[in-house]
A and B are shown apart, each in its own frame.
Chain A
Amino acid sequence: GAVVSQHPSWVICKSGTSVKIECRSLDFQATTMFWYRQFPKQSLMLMATSNEGSKATYEQGVEKDKFLINHASLTLSTLTVTSAHPEDSSFYICSARRTGGTEAFFGQGTRLTVV
């Protein structure tokens, strides 16, 4: 099956610093990747759709300057949380869709804690 790997699995950072989360499709090429945010005991909320070689499409209410997305290759998308604050603490999950496919495969998630 298709494997999507996120790194790191968890990270603690100081308020005001930036954190980068990587999402890699290990055994397939993904033209499109998605970034989600999940608060405790809540559902996944789509933050943005990342397309290789072009700008990401952000959902309404998501600050693009706060959550920088880069999808420079067909196997890697990164999410950078800039100037993180405690309210950014959350579980971030990415998914990747195989080029030409319809199913999305999910990473294991990244637990971000901002102190």
Chain B
Amino acid sequence: AQSVTQLDSHVSVSEGTPVLLRCNYSSSYSPSLFWYVQHPNKGLQLLLKYTSAATLVKGINGFEAEFKKSETSFHLTKPSAHMSDAAEYFCVVRTAYGGATNKLIFGTGTLLAVQP
């Protein structure tokens, strides 16, 4: 069975400093992995996705993530945090049942706070 573990429930950074949100995955198959962002009382927005192409994936708003099979990790990074990045971030794996039965399995989320 697939699963993801987000190692930090809260991360606080200063504006302009780097962001690192950690995610480890467990999968019997080559996984499809995603990072989503959720601002308060809003739906989810896809930041980026890995689907077995390039291991370094670039997303929106300057975020990127690197798929490391040897470490079973898919950490999210950004060189310089902005106040607008404050939100909840979810690491997500898609099940590999195939076709229409694919499901998304969400991590527990990391709340990113950005200090001025």
Instruction: Using CB atoms and an 8 Å cutoff, list the residues of chain A in contact with chain B.
Output: 4, 6, 31-32, 34, 41-46, 49, 51, 57, 91, 93, 95, 97, 102-109, 111
Contact = CB atoms under 8 A, between A and B. Distances in A.
Contacts of A42: 108-109
B42 to A, nearest CB: 6
A49 B99 CA distance: 13
Contacts of A57: 101
Contact of A103 (B46, B105, B106, B107): B46
Measured as residues with beta carbon below 8 angstroms from the partner, the interface class of chain B is 20 to 34
B104 interface: yes
Contact of A44 (B42, B49, B90, B100): B90
B80 interface: no
B43 to A, nearest CB: 4
A46 B100 contact: no
B100 A31 contact: yes
Contacts of B90: 43-44
Interface string B21-46: 00000000000100010000111111
Nearest to B101: A49
B108 A46 contact: no
B41 A109 contact: yes
Nearest to B90: A43
Interface in B92-116: 94, 100-109, 111
A103 B104 contact: no
Interface string B58-96: 000000000000000000000000000000001000100
